Amino acid sequence: MRAVHYLNQFFGGIGGEEHADRPVEVKDGPIGPGRALEGEWQGAARIVATIIAGDNYASTRTEETEAALRTALEGHRPDVLVAGPAFNAGRYGMGCLTACRVAASLGIPHVAAMFPQNPALAMHENRGLVVLPTAETAIGMRKVIPQVARLALKLGHGELLGTAAEDGFLPRGIRRDVMHEETGAERAIAMLKRKLAGQPYRTELPVEAFDSVEPAPPLRELGRARVALITTGGIVPHGNPDRLKEYNSVAWKAYSIAGLDDLASDAWQPIHGGYDSTWAREDPDRVVPVDALRALERRGELGALDDRMYVTVGVGTPVANARRFGQEIARDLRERKVDGVILTAT
């Protein structure tokens, strides 16, 4: 079986961050983790070529990267493409998923491997790609390589994949009809009996679990407090200069509101893709009440409104991204000695 392997500049043996802008190049045979893959295959498959791209290049010059990947894959016509493992490296993950997407468009089976909360997964929305979960760092390389090798062989031989739970990859949102001898009611009763007996069981309808967040204690003296504004309502400077996404956010931004008594409609706009923004376009203060807080500040009922307003978009944003945003913003708030925040939504 013929395989092609995609790596970034670091695992491809070129160098570190100083080579992150390196364009796509193709080398014969296995490199780095590819040698470990071939060792697992024990002659059942071989890597005929390794595609290497710098992380910056692959994540920012998408069109050029896709064209070079297509040329390489069409030239080698492998039975399977393997990408990574990328662990929790976001730019590397972007390159891996781009390679898989190009392979899929050519009808070439593919498998990537990365940390389940790698931001690249949120940006690509998986889109039916086969991705194995890894540890957060390369310390998990030895554990994941045998799993990648096994799944690559299965895909390369044209075998039908089982469920995500059976074959160990991340769920892709694909459902297939399956015939059972027992009815749904009978299977549900059987699962309930196993649960009551303390025996292992697996639900057929997994439900996503959400974190529970303990509320912070109230501010004791609001008249002396410095308060910052955070919004998931997507109110940004006119023209959206930082190109924040309308949904499925991957970033947040802090904008200066120093000296502003309100958010004027000719200077600020909503970009949120999850609500009718007619009223917010007319007056952005309806989403982020800078005008009302300035009034409280002038009356001495609020100590000070912080000069920064923190902005992202909540609709469709993965919990992992939201958690990261919160951690990063909290660090910034602590450095700025902010006492409390007002978080507005839509």
pLDDT at residue number 125: 58
Q: Which domains does the chain have, with CATH numbers?
A: 2-167 (3.40.50.2300), 222-344 (no CATH)
Predicted pLDDT at 216? 86
CA proximity to 100, closest of 200, 169, 30, 31: 169
Residue 279 has phi, psi (to 5 degrees) of: -70, -30
Give the per-residue pLDDT at 249: 87
* Residue pair 188/205 in contact by the 8 Å Cβ criterion: no
Would strands 80-83 and 110-114 be described as parallel, antiparallel, or unpaired? parallel
pLDDT at 146 over 80: yes
pTM score, whole prediction = 0.60
Rounded to an integer, the average pLDDT of 50-67 is 95
Residue 126 confidence (pLDDT) above 60:
no
**pLDDT tens digit sequence for 325-338:** 999 999 999 999 99
Q: In terms of pLDDT, which residue wins out, 23 or 120?
A: 23
Task: List, for residues 238-269, the tens digit of each pLDDT value.
Answer: 999 999 998 778 899 999 999 999 999 999 99
Would you say the C-alpha torsion 56, 58, 60, 64 has a positive or negative sign? positive
